[in-house]
Homo-oligomer: A and B are copies of this chain.
Amino acid sequence: MQTEDFDVGAEITQLRQQRPDIGAVAAFVGQVRDLNQGDAIAGMTLEHYPGMTEKSLEAIVQQAKARWDIMDAVVIHRIGELKPLDQIVLVAVAGAHRGEAFHACEFIMDYLKTEAPFWKKEQTAKGERWVDARASDDAARARWHKI
C-alpha cells in the first residue's frame, strides 16, 4: 500500500532481472476510470484496513505460489486520493513459462478484488458515494475453485 504513484516498468524489470531462469512476466495495471455506472467520476478515495491489507495480500500471493510454479510476484495498491487516469494497482508475476504466470496473475487480481480490505468512495456530480461490490468479481473468484 502506498499513496505515491508507482513505476510499472521499473517494478517489472526488478522482478524479471533477478533470475535468468525467468522466461515470462504477466502483469496487470488498473487505472481509475472517468465513468462508473453511468456517472462521470471526478476522483475517488481509497480506504483500507491497515494491518489486514498487508496480511491478506501476502496470503493471496502465498496461495498463488502454492498453486502455480512461479518464481516471484509483486503487488502494489495505492490508497488515498486518486483521479481518472491514475494508476491504482499493479500485480506482476514472474515464472519460467507464460501459462503459469498468466493464471497466477489473474488469480491474484480476482482474490484481491474480493478479499483484500480496500474500499472505493467516488466523487460524482451528485456527491460522494461508496462503490458497491460487483457480482461479476465474486463470479471471477469462484471459478478458481473449479479448476
User: What is the interface of chain A, defined by CB distance below 8 A to chain B?
Assistant: 7-10, 12-13, 16-17, 20-35, 84-85, 96-99, 101-102, 105-106, 109, 136, 140
Please tell me if the beta carbons of A20 and B34 are within 8 angstroms of each other in the complex.
Answer: yes
- On whether the beta carbons of B24 and A30 are closer than 8 Å, the reply is yes
Main secondary structure of the interface of A (DSSP, over half): mixed
Contact for A21 among B13, B35, B136, CB less than 8 A:
B35
Closest B residue to A36 by CB, please name it: B23
Q: Top 8 closest A-B pairs, CB basis? A: A9-B9, A20-B34, A20-B84, A25-B29, A27-B27, A23-B33, A8-B9, A16-B31
Q: Shortest CB–CB separation between residue A86 and chain B, in angstroms?
A: 10
Number of this chain's copies in the complex: 2
Q: Point out the residue from B22, B23, B30 that lies within 8 Å of A23, measured CB to CB.
A: B30
Q: Which of B26, B30, B34, B136 contacts A27 (CB 8 A)?
A: B26
Determine the distance from Cα of A136 to Cα of B99 in the docked complex, in whole angstroms. Answer: 10
A140–B102 alpha-carbon span in the complex (Å):
12
Q: Kindly list chain B residues whose C-beta atoms are within 8 Å of the C-beta of A9.
A: 7-10, 12
Report yes or no: A27 in contact with B29, Cβ–Cβ below 8 A. Answer: yes
CB-nearest residue of chain B to A101: B28
Q: Bound state CA distance, A95 and B83, in angstroms?
A: 18
In the bound complex, residues from chain B placing their C-beta under 8 Å from that of A16 are 29, 31, 85
